[in-house]
Structure 1
């Protein structure tokens, strides 16, 4: 699909996406690998929990990357409102192709960046843990097995589907409330960071963990990567909750379906918004 390919290429060339979705998470990964591990060497269980530690940082990588891509694509959707009606009426663009292109771009761009930064996370964590006196192999820092790697990729894909649904709904809301178009694109970033730090430090109940798509996604990613039977109540906690992985995945998928349905109901009510009004909202 030409539009999806164009969006992927343009997003991957966007210096702000590369900064906030690439260099920024890498900076914190390096901090986690070489600075925050200094006090771990005294613990006899450090090597045992190395994989969970790496998984926790990968979770932060996924959250940051998906947020950065969401903001970039959301701005693209909002400010292409003048061209899209023309292309739908006189060109070859069709509504389904338009929506599918953005979903495809969201998936492709997010997975490419997550794969690149995730691989760097694995190598940096392995090196940092060993430099801090915690003897771990590359296998100890990697997903538990091939199935765990596949489950991790699936968890990232499910969360990306939810993020894409939220992205499309927010773009329609921005066109309904043009004055809010300047700050609405940052909503995914705000939500992602808010719930990331919430799950990092605050122990969740089984209901709050599963019902919230953001915390459910984080728990699912960590559980899949580390090969755990049950998710942690919080990233910084050793307590676990009796919530199966399928329940987390179902919750995220349900939210994605609900947001997609809301967007489908709203799309017919959106009218063309002149670029002048969008600029006035800045």
Structure 2
């Protein structure tokens, strides 16, 4: 028992020295909650906002909303490659959060400054309604683009950063459970609470609440930096996949070996089987 207790103590002390652990949990979760609340609050009612405040036709507004939603699903893929290959999860998540904050602030300004929107039209959808100018479209698209890039960039890099704070797979699983729980609960709050503020109070108030939630999330995320475990980029899985494809093309005429030991069965580590390092 004494030996086991000493072993656990050494492991805890080692983890404390190298950072990470449950100390980092609240910082990451608050950041996720702040950005998720803002994203859901903007995306949930975007079509209505574009129709009512920008005099954009419903078909065009729906297309803009679909592009925004599609972009937020694409950018996590790009951000993951950049984080794994070059910078690590924390810098990518932090920069993405700041980009998201900038986009949300600009978007909130479109609801606060009348010159950034066309003149109000009483007969929505009519051809007589004034269409947005190029400048107004430019500001709108800039805000949505930055918000999509920012939210997509931090979406799963924060999840990776959080999981990397733990060595125990069970602790990683618990973290992911809380991460997803926070994600969905806060999304529901955004789809209901923020939308209620936009419809019953004002668009400006709703969007500025979104901007404030991101700002709080970024500040808390940055405050926790001293506790995060340092990360080193280890290369993207896409690079390994590319090597496999290149090796397959270059060796497609090679004769297959009849020796069982030359094939990896998954029962032993690859490093334990001689000659199994990929060459091309």
TM value normalised by structure 2: 0.35
- Which has more radius of gyration? 2
